[in-house]
Amino acid sequence: MNKAINNYWKTNLKYLSILLAIWFLVSFGFGILLLDLLNQIQIGGFKLGFWFAQQGSIYIFVALIFVYVFLMNRLDDKTAE
Amino acid sequence: MEQQLWIWIMVGVSFAIYIGIAIWSHASSTKEFYVAGEGVSPIANGMATAADWMSAASFISMAGIISFAGYDGSVYLMGWTGGYVLLALLLAPYLRKFGKFTVPDFIGDRYYSNTARAVAVFCALIVSFTYIAGQMRGVGLVFSRYLTVDINTGVLIGMGIVLFYAVLGGMKGITYTQVAQYCVLIFAFLVPAIFISIIMTGMPIPQIGMGSKAADGIYLLEKLDGLHRELGFHQYTSGSKSKLDMFLITAALMMGTAGLPHVIVRFFTVKKVRDARKSAGWALLFIAVLYTTAPAIAVFARTNLIQTVSNKPYETLPEWFSNWETTGLLTFTDLNKDGLVQYVADPKINELVIDKDIIVMANPEIANLPNWVIGLMAAGALAAALSTAAGLLLVISSSVSHDLLKKIMYPSISEKGELVAARIAAIFAVILAGYFGINPPDFVAATVALAFGLAAASFFPAIVMGIFSKRMNKEGVISGMLVGISLMLFYMMKFKLGFFGGGTNEDWWFGVSPEGFGTLAMCANILVAVVVASQTQTPPKKVQQMIDEIRKP
């Protein structure tokens, strides 16, 4: 049981680091640090950097939480077996 | 029907609903009072969290702020939503697993010390009070603008309503009222946005409309950038703030959001750990509906405004212009006496001053929407202000009755006594908040935004380290929190209130604004905590077991 719990925590930390890396990339990365670069790309009426800062990052935030919910529910069930 | 009548109807009906819910769901135990009996479904809790979160400022001012700041306004959009990712991933599930009532509860138990608990209570009270005073003022403003009562009467009515359902229903009453309030406020926000998006771009979804072409075939954002260049404002889609400041402000708002006690406590109200994660997802989804619509409203309103007024003869301006002029939120002074409105960046020749709050509130009039929409806006703005005030009130009352009284001063108090104390504390908190609402000290407006910096500098690192590090001990965390919150308070007082010699933008440390300083204060908190912890004893076995326990599925 102890080993299973250990694995559970390790996998959790792995999920966390991947999801938080995406979280950082879309907001601080695309929305702020790389703004000028991405603003040279235009999709529809949006400059891409501006879109990430005011729209895109928020959609991805929502998706990230639901992905985490899905991953953790699966992991919970697997560990409980 | 007349506009004023519609306003009374919409506000009256929504208030009747809130009071009905409060009576139906009154709390009979401390568990119901503090955490709604831990029986709230994740979706309902998500909605309640969203309503709790979105204050009068989000509803009325945010779109306006973005409208004037353009890209710079993104700090609020990303900061106030990105914090929920941190909450869902780093805090909510573990705190739910821990299974107590308040944030100081966690800090006190995890760091096996009543000193740590007391420091946490102190931080919770500071953060909540700076926040709630602003809310009561918001309630008063909305009442005075829509219901044409005196602003102080407005605050008193607001106090009465909040008092009624927060004191009677506790967390249970607040949660279910907030579900209703979310529905009212989001509907009130979306209806005018959709109408205006259709009018300006023919696209019913505002989020897409803001990136679409206007009737003349030019992309709205391109047109707006052009207009801004012409009038001397900085370009709408790129910023005027430094990248460092943008970065630090966004980070401070995110970590502050995740550290605000009235937000965290919501995740104690669901049944299971799973539900805490899911509920954070729902909360952010419900919040995102408003937060992605706001920048669209900002673009529509900004374009509309500039096109309607810039270089137009004053005489030919539409009726809403003079309507809002009478409220003092719009002022026009014809400096060069040419009868035209010069609206430009240069303050020497600019003739038009616009209050940011107009953007959302005048929207229905600018777009010629029916009167019931205006009634709806009034009900929505009140829902936003009341729901946030009630949530904060509960944190204040539970900090006093549970954390101070029960856990530190009189551990022998009975459940009934604690419940009475919680209600009395809530009454005092409302009266104090109302007092600040009627006599707003100068610092309120300046400090509401800084409450985030305070939360980021104190709670967020203390809780995260408590979960993810077994080595962190009470000495480390107490010194970290004290250093973090004092640094933040010092910087805030120095540069916002002019204490300690004051200072201008040029004196900012490393060019960091007080809004962004929370991030640095948080780093100092962590640094101090880690260094002190490494020099002192590891936490006792019992605590290590507790950490293992909250990490388990």
Mean pLDDT for all residues in chain B = 82
Which residues of A are less than 8 Å from B81 in CB distance? 57-58, 61
Q: What is the pLDDT of residue A30?
A: 92
Tokens 């927060």: give the residue: B166
What is the average pLDDT across A1-28?
90
Q: Which of residues 73-132 of B touch A (CB under 8 A)?
A: 73-74, 77-78, 81-82, 84-85, 88-90, 93
What is the average pLDDT across B447-470?
84
Question: pTM for this one?
Answer: 0.88
pLDDT tens readout for residues B19-65: 888 788 776 677 766 666 666 788 888 898 898 888 877 788 888 88
Instruction: Look at residue B93 and give its three-state secondary structure.
Output: helix
- Has residue A36 got a pLDDT over 60? yes
* Assigned token pair, B51: 């309503």
- Has residue B221 got a pLDDT over 80? yes
**Greatest mean pLDDT among A58-67, B343-352, B538-547:** A58-67
Give the residue among B403, B415, B398 at the shortest CA–CA distance from B269.
B398
**B220 in any annotated domain:** yes
Sign of the four-CA dihedral A53, A54, A56, A59 = positive
What is the average pLDDT across B166-187?
83
**Domains of chain B: total:** 1
Rounded-to-integer distance, Cα B382 and Cα B59, Å: 9
DSSP state letter for B213? B
What is the average pLDDT across B365-379?
81
- Has residue B233 got a pLDDT over 70? yes
Q: What is the pLDDT of residue B35?
A: 65
The reply to whether residue B84 touches residue A61, judged by beta carbons under 8 angstroms, is yes
**CATH number of the domain that residue B415 is part of:** 1.20.1730.10
- Has residue B292 got a pLDDT over 60? yes
**Greatest mean pLDDT among B78-87, B99-108, B370-379:** B78-87
pLDDT tens readout for residues B392-433: 888 787 777 777 777 777 777 777 777 788 788 888 888 887
- Has residue B189 got a pLDDT over 70? yes
Q: What is the pLDDT of residue B447?
A: 61
Rounded-to-integer distance, Cα B93 and Cα B79, Å: 21
pLDDT tens readout for residues B89-117: 998 888 888 877 788 888 888 888 888 88
Which residues of A are less than 8 Å from B93 in CB distance? 72
**B79 in any annotated domain:** yes
Is A59 near chain B, with CB under 8 Å? Answer: yes
**B275 in any annotated domain:** yes
**B483 in any annotated domain:** no
- Has residue B362 got a pLDDT over 60? yes
The residue of chain B nearest to residue A29, with distances taken between CA atoms, is B247
CB pairs under 8 A between A and B: 124
Instruction: Look at residue B219 and give its three-state secondary structure.
Output: strand
HSE-CB of B61 using CA atoms within 13 angstroms: 15
What is the average pLDDT across B492-521?
77
Q: What is the pLDDT of residue A21?
A: 95
**B38 in any annotated domain:** yes
What is the average pLDDT across B111-131?
83
**B301 in any annotated domain:** yes
CA-based nearest distance B254→chain A, Å: 11
Strand partners, B219: B213
Closest Cβ–Cβ partner in B73, B238, B284 for A35: B238
The parent domain of residue B72 ranges over 3-310+363-439
DSSP state letter for B204? S
The parent domain of residue A20 ranges over 2-80
Q: What is the pLDDT of residue B442?
A: 57
What is the average pLDDT across B268-291?
88
**Domains of chain A: total:** 1
- At B441, the pLDDT band (50, 70, 90 cuts) reads low
